[in-house]
Structure 1
């Protein structure tokens, strides 16, 4: 099996587990805290388990950020996106087969009644921007310590969910909205969970590329004179 096939399977499987777990806990769990902790810890665990295979994206917005920063080529990014969306839909379908349609519907991110569509998009964009900045700072940048990234990413997902879940459902990930929406038919929050994370990923890439990285053309782990001292980045088989 070639590298891309392994990576795509890992992305689909990771998205499947992430969406299945979060949909169930968001619906059945007693309040915001269990849902936030499940989302964050599940993300951290899956990144730790599969990050060395595919990079552990499980999120089309993160894949977009990797594409913009030239760490993954376009065809591989498209394959990742397909795998992530299909895995997410399969995760939601599994929940539907185990429980009932009401669980999946309740687990689909929606915009709160007192929040405008623009406000919801902005909230998702800011939360996702912070998430992608953390990923760039802990996974991508060759100057970062490589061991901290799973927990850093998980904590950021937890914090982001806490912050915006009452407003938008707290997707931070187009696949998190798409999976249950396909099964439940609840598309009311699509503008937020689709446009917001995409916008956030683009903003994070621009901020890191032109400001935080200090103008370094390729602040990518494994490139540069100190490359021998650091392990390759997750998903490095896709680096050009």
Structure 2
């Protein structure tokens, strides 16, 4: 199996498991706190398990930020997106087959029209995803930062973001998290929030890192010893750029 295929399989499997767990817990769990913990800790565990293979994106918004950062080429990015969306749909389908369609519908992110407008829903999803992507860029991409903290940092960020915005949008923070259950349940009311919000947030995070954080890090880091290795590198020879 070549490196790109291995990366894509890891992304599909990781996103499958993430959506399966989160849809189930959100739909039938005892409340928002257990759901936030399941989403966050599940993400952290999957990144720890598979991050060394593919980088542990499991989220099209993170892949977009890596593409903009030129850390992944276009072919690999498209392959990642397909794998993530397919894995998400498969995860939601397994939930339906093991229970019923209404369970998947209950676990699908939707906009709470009585609490927030569509624009507001997009904004809060963008804000939560922006923080998540900044965490990724600041721990995995930044050569002075400890990439080993990324799984836990990402998990805590997702748990906190979900807890903050779930009452408004369902707390997707990930287009795949919205796409999978929407395809299976036919519930598309949250489309604007879970698609546009995270992608906008990823672009903003990339811009902040690229034009604000990275130049300052380069100046302040002059003469400092950088880390010699990264726990989550793309495998040598893959279509991921070095």
Tell me which interval the TM-score lies in, with the shorter structure as reference length: over 0.9
CA RMSD of aligned residues (A): 1.6
Residue 155 of structure 1 pairs with residue 159 of structure 2:
no
Native 8 Å contact 1:209 1:215 kept in 2: no
CA shift digits 1:5-52 (9 cap, x unpaired): 000000000000000000000011111001000000000000000000
Native 8 Å contact 1:142 1:230 kept in 2: no
Q: CA offset at residue 147 of structure 1?
A: 1.8
Distance 2:130 2:55 in 1: 18
Which stretch of structure 1 is more off in the superposition, 175-184 or 136-145?
136-145
Q: CA offset at residue 119 of structure 1?
A: 0.3
Native 8 Å contact 1:140 1:233 kept in 2: no
**Matched residue SS, 2:56:** coil
User: Unaligned regions of 5+ residues in structure 2, if any?
Assistant: none
Native 8 Å contact 1:25 1:38 kept in 2: yes
- Distance of aligned partners of 1:19 and 1:133 in 2 relative to their CA distance in 1, 3 Å threshold: same
Aligned residues: 234
Q: Tell me the equivalent position of 1:50.
A: 50
Distance 2:105 2:184 in 1: 8
Distance 2:134 2:227 in 1: 25
**Matched residue SS, 1:231:** coil
Distance 1:233 1:73 in 2: 17
Distance 2:216 2:183 in 1: 41
Distance 2:217 2:74 in 1: 22
Q: CA offset at residue 231 of structure 1?
A: 2.8
- Distance of aligned partners of 1:92 and 1:189 in 2 relative to their CA distance in 1, 3 Å threshold: same
1:239 pairs with one of 235, 238, 241: 241
Which stretch of structure 1 is more off in the superposition, 227-236 or 84-93?
227-236
CA shift digits 1:157-202 (9 cap, x unpaired): 0000011000000000000000000000000000000000000000
Distance 1:69 1:231 in 2: 17
Native 8 Å contact 2:53 2:232 kept in 1: no
Q: Tell me the equivalent position of 1:125.
A: 126
Distance 2:8 2:225 in 1: 30
Distance 1:103 1:146 in 2: 37
Q: CA offset at residue 228 of structure 1?
A: 6.9
Q: Tell me the equivalent position of 2:191.
A: 190
Q: CA offset at residue 140 of structure 1?
A: 1.1
Q: Tell me the equivalent position of 1:82.
A: 82
TM-score of the aligned structures, taking structure 2 as reference length: 0.93
Q: CA offset at residue 214 of structure 1?
A: 1.7
Q: CA offset at residue 226 of structure 1?
A: 5.1
User: Unaligned regions of 5+ residues in structure 1, if any?
Assistant: 218-223
5 Å matches for 1:102-113? Answer: 102-113=102-113
**Matched residue SS, 1:214:** helix
Q: CA offset at residue 146 of structure 1?
A: 2.3
Structure 1 segments, 4+ long, off by >3 Å, are 224-228
TM-score of the aligned structures, taking structure 1 as reference length: 0.94
Native 8 Å contact 1:56 1:234 kept in 2: no
